[in-house]
Structure 1
Amino acid sequence: MLRSFQYKKNEYDTIPLQLVLLGADHDQEPVYRMHGINLSQLLYCKEGQGELILDNRKYVIDKGQCFIILKNTPHEYHSTGGKWILDIIGFNGSIVPLLLRALKINSSGAYLLSNRDILEAHHKKLLEISEQNSKHKHMLLSQETYALLTDLTYCLTHIASQAADYGNPTITRIIEYLESHYGEDISLDTLAQITSRTPEYLCSIFKEHTGLTIVKYINGIRLLHAKILLVEEPSMSVSEIAIKCGYSSASYFGKVFLKQYKLTPNQYRMSHLM
C-alpha cells in the first residue's frame, strides 16, 4: 500500500511539517532519481535485502534497518534479489531543514535501529490516523510525524558506506572506531590494538580496500564534522571547532580546510550564514 496526501494552499503555513507519502508493506520496485525528489523520506526494511546508492557509495539495507533520503538528494535503490518490502514515510514542510538539523539527522544514508518498536508503533499510528475521516487529519498526521522523528534520534546509528561497501571485518572495525573517535588523537598503535593486527598490515589492507590512507580517511571525517559545526554552531570559535574535531591547532586546521575546500573556515561559515 502506498498513499499520498494533498494539502490546501493555506495549510502550508498552518502545518509546517506535512506527511506527504505513507507506505506499508510496499513491494519496492527499483528507483533511479538522478535529481532527487521534492520531499524527505524515511524507509524501513521489513523483509528482504536491498541496496542504496548515494554519491556513488553503496549501502546494503537488511531487514530491520532503515535509510533516510533528504530532499533533492540524487539517489537510487533496488532489491538485491527477490522481494524487498518497505514501510515508507515521506514528509515535507518549511520546518523540515531546521528540525532535521536540530535532531542531528545531517545526511542521507543507511541507519541501524536500536529500537525497532518505536518506528513500528509510530508507523502503525500514522496508518490509523490516515484512515480517519476527520477535518483535523492533516494536523494529526503532522503531530505524529514530528513525534516519530524526535523519538528516532535516540535510536539511530549511521552506517558508514565504506563498511557496507568493503565487507571486511577489519576495515569495518577501523571505520567504526574512526567515526566514533575522530575528535581524539588516533594512532596506528591504537588501531592495531583494537583489531589485533600490525600497523603495517592495517595500512596496507586499508589502502587496498578503500583507495585511501588511514590518515586521509580520518581527515575527511574531521573536515566533514567541522563543516557541520561551522554552520550549526555559530557561537563556537574556529579554534574550539578545530579541537573538537581532533586538530591540535587552529592554524593547522585552517591550512587543511583551505586546501580541501578552497575557503578558510571563516569564509566557509560566512558563505552559509549570509
Structure 2
Amino acid sequence: MQKQIFPIIGDEKELPFYIVGIGVECWQYPVNRTGGYDFPQILVTNEGEGEITVNGSTVKLPVNSVFFIPPHLPHEYHSLSDSWIVSWVCFSGSEAEPLLEKWGLNKYAYFLSADTERMNRIISKAYYTIKSDKIYGNHYASAQLYDLLIEYRKIADNRQSELTSVSTVALADVLQYIEEKYAGPIKLGDLAQIAGITEQHLCRLFKKNLQMRPMEYLAKVRIQHAKEMLVYSEKNISEIAKATGFPDSSYFSALFKKHEGITPGEYREQH
C-alpha cells in the first residue's frame, strides 16, 4: 500500500509553508512531465536505484540520494532496479520559494550518498501528522516542512562533511579560544595562529559560517558577557568594560549602544 497523501488545501494557502503532497517509502512509478510540475519537489531515495533526466542530462540516483526539482521544470525519472522506493514532498506557501531563492537552492539539484536519516524522519512525521488530523494536520506539518527545508539546505551546503574538515576544526578551536579568553587582549593574528591558517582564510571561514568577521564575533561575545554582568552583578560600567576585554568604558558604551540600541546603563535599568 502506497503511503501518500494529497491533502485538501483550504486556509493553508495563507501559511508561509504548506504541504501539497507527501509520500513515505513509496514504490516509484515512471514519471515523465514534459511541462514540469506546478510545485517544487524534494525526493529522497530509500531503496533501489533510479535515474533522472533534466535538460538532456541523465543522472543515476543510488540509495540515500536527495534531489530537488523546481516548479515547471520538464523532467523524467524512473527505476533502474526491480523496485525503487522513495519518500517525497511537494510543497508551496508564500515564503517557500522565496526562502529557497534566498538560500540559492531554488534550482534543480541532486546530492548522492547524502546523510538522509533525519530528512526521512521529518517526512515520515509530517505524513502522519497530516494523516492523523484532517483539519489541522497540515497546519502543524507547516513547521515540519520548514524543518525539512533547513535539513535540505544543510545537505546542499555539505555541512555534514564540513563538520569533519580541517577548516571547521580550526574554526571550532578559534571559537573556543574566544569564549575562554574574551576578557584579555585578542588580535586577529592571534586567532589565525591558533587556527593554523592565514588571517585571510580565517576571515573567509567566519564569513561563510557565521556571516561576520572574527573581530565582530569577538565583540558580540564580549557584549553578551557584559549583558550578563549588567543583570547579575553589582559591578559598575567601568569594571564591566574591563572585565569583558574593552579598553575603556567610553568605547564599551559606544559599541554596546551600536549593537543593542541602548546604553549599558539603560540595559541594566530595563532588566
The equivalent residue for 2:5 is 3
- Distance of aligned partners of 1:34 and 1:27 in 2 relative to their CA distance in 1, 3 Å threshold: same
CA contact (8 A) 1:35 1:73 kept: yes
Asked if 1:17 corresponds to 2:30, the answer is no
The equivalent residue for 1:53 is 53
**Residue type of the partner of 2:8?**
Q
Report the TM-score when normalising by structure 2: 0.54
Q: Within 5 Å, which residues of 2 pair with 1:63-142?
A: 63-112=63-112, 114-133=114-133, 135-142=135-142
> Equivalents in 2 of 1:134, 1:53: separation in Å?
35
Paired residues in the alignment total 156
The equivalent residue for 1:154 is 154
CA contact (8 A) 2:53 2:75 kept: yes
> Equivalents in 2 of 1:114, 1:33: separation in Å?
26
> Equivalents in 2 of 1:134, 1:75: separation in Å?
32
Which range is displaced more, 110-119 or 137-146? 110-119
- Distance of aligned partners of 1:28 and 1:134 in 2 relative to their CA distance in 1, 3 Å threshold: closer
**Residue type of the partner of 2:66?**
C
- Distance of aligned partners of 1:65 and 1:157 in 2 relative to their CA distance in 1, 3 Å threshold: farther
CA contact (8 A) 2:17 2:92 kept: yes
CA contact (8 A) 2:61 2:112 kept: no
Report the TM-score when normalising by structure 1: 0.53
Give per-residue Cα distances to partners, 1:50-79, cap 9 Å, x unaligned.
Answer: 110000011110001111111111100001
List gaps (5 residues or longer) in structure 2.
Answer: 159-271
> Equivalents in 2 of 1:22, 1:134: separation in Å?
14
> Equivalents in 2 of 1:89, 1:33: separation in Å?
17
Q: Within 5 Å, which residues of 2 pair with 1:199-210?
A: none
Deviation at 1:109, TM superposition (A): 2.5
SS in 1 for 2:120: helix
Give per-residue Cα distances to partners, 1:201-227, cap 9 Å, x unaligned.
Answer: xxxxxxxxxxxxxxxxxxxxxxxxxxx
SS in 2 for 1:131: helix
**Residue type of the partner of 1:12?**
K
Deviation at 1:113, TM superposition (A): 5.5
> Equivalents in 2 of 1:89, 1:60: separation in Å?
20
**Residue type of the partner of 1:152?**
Y
Deviation at 1:128, TM superposition (A): 2.5
CA contact (8 A) 2:45 2:86 kept: yes
SS in 2 for 1:82: coil
> Equivalents in 2 of 1:46, 1:67: separation in Å?
12
> Equivalents in 2 of 1:113, 1:41: separation in Å?
19
The equivalent residue for 1:42 is 42
List gaps (5 residues or longer) in structure 1.
Answer: 159-274
CA RMSD of aligned residues (A): 1.8
Give per-residue Cα distances to partners, 1:116-140, cap 9 Å, x unaligned.
Answer: 2220221221123122226432211
- Distance of aligned partners of 1:157 and 1:57 in 2 relative to their CA distance in 1, 3 Å threshold: farther
**Residue type of the partner of 1:104?**
G
Share of identical aligned residues, percent? 24
The equivalent residue for 1:195 is none
SS in 1 for 2:148: helix
Deviation at 1:38, TM superposition (A): 0.7
